[in-house]
Amino acid sequence: MKTLLALVLLAGPAGAAPVAVDTIVRDRIGAALPAELGVVDVFLPASLASLATEPDRVVIELPRTFGAGRASIKVIIRGRAGVYVPVSVGRRLEVMVVKRAVFAGATITADDVSLERRAVNSAAQPSTIIGSSTTRDLAVGNVIEKPDVVLAPPLARGTQVTVEMRKGSVRVRGTGTLEAAARNGEPTSVRLAHTRTVVRGTVRGSSVVVGETP
C-alpha cells in the first residue's frame, strides 16, 4: 500500500443534522470505491464509534491505491486530533444472509435466508446453504460463512430424484436416478426413468435435479 494520501471531501451541507461517524466514514469510502467493491468493516476507536457529528466537520484521507483487503485511513474531525483507522474492503458478491435467527445445530431452510449482494471478505457458496446444519447461533443480518455451517451429506448414487428440464420458459418434469453422488448446488448426472437417457443437471433441494436442454 502506498503512503501517498488523497483527501476525500464529500461533506454534507454546513449545519446538517448530526450523523454517526461510522456512517459518515462508510459513505465516504464507498463513494471513492469502484462499483464492484464495498466496505466490510470500519474499526473505529471507542471514542469515535459512539460519536455523532455534522458531516461537514469530518474529513478522511484515503490511500492513493485503495482496493480489496485491509487498509488504514486517517479520520479528521474538526476540533480533534486526526486518528488512523483500519478498514476492510471486499468484493460485492451474492451471499446468503440470515433473515430469521437460526440456532446452533438447526437445519437451514429457504425461509431462514435470503440471497443478497454484499461486500464480503469470505462467504459460503450460496447454493450449498439450504439443507446444511449450523455450527453456531446465527443472528438476523449475518452473512453465512463456511465455518458457520456443516454441509448436508450428498445424495447417494442411485437415489431417485425428480428431474426438471428447462428450455427457455418451457419446463418438463420426470423422474430418474442419480449416476453420481452430489450435494445441493452441485452438478451431477441422472438417468431418466422412461428413456434411460443420461442428462446433466444441478441438485436443488433434497430431491430435485434441474437441467438445461440445448
* Boundaries of domain holding 136: 92-150
- Burial label, 198 (beta-carbon count in 10 A; 0-12, 13-18, 19+): exposed
Is residue 58 a part of any domain in this protein?
yes
Residues 24 and 81 in one domain: yes
Is residue 11 a part of any domain in this protein?
yes
CATH number where 192 lies: 2.30.30.760
139 within 8 A of 93, measured Cβ to Cβ? no
Helix (H) or strand (E) holding 28: helix 21-32
Residues 73 and 10 in one domain: yes
Task: List Cα–Cα distances, 76 to 16, 39, 89, 126, in angstroms.
Answer: 18, 19, 20, 39
Domain count of the chain?
3
Tens digit of pLDDT for each residue in 180-206? 988 888 889 999 988 888 889 888 877
Q: For position 11, what pLDDT does the model report?
A: 46
Tens digit of pLDDT for each residue in 128-163? 888 889 999 999 999 999 999 998 788 899 999 999
Is residue 155 a part of any domain in this protein?
no
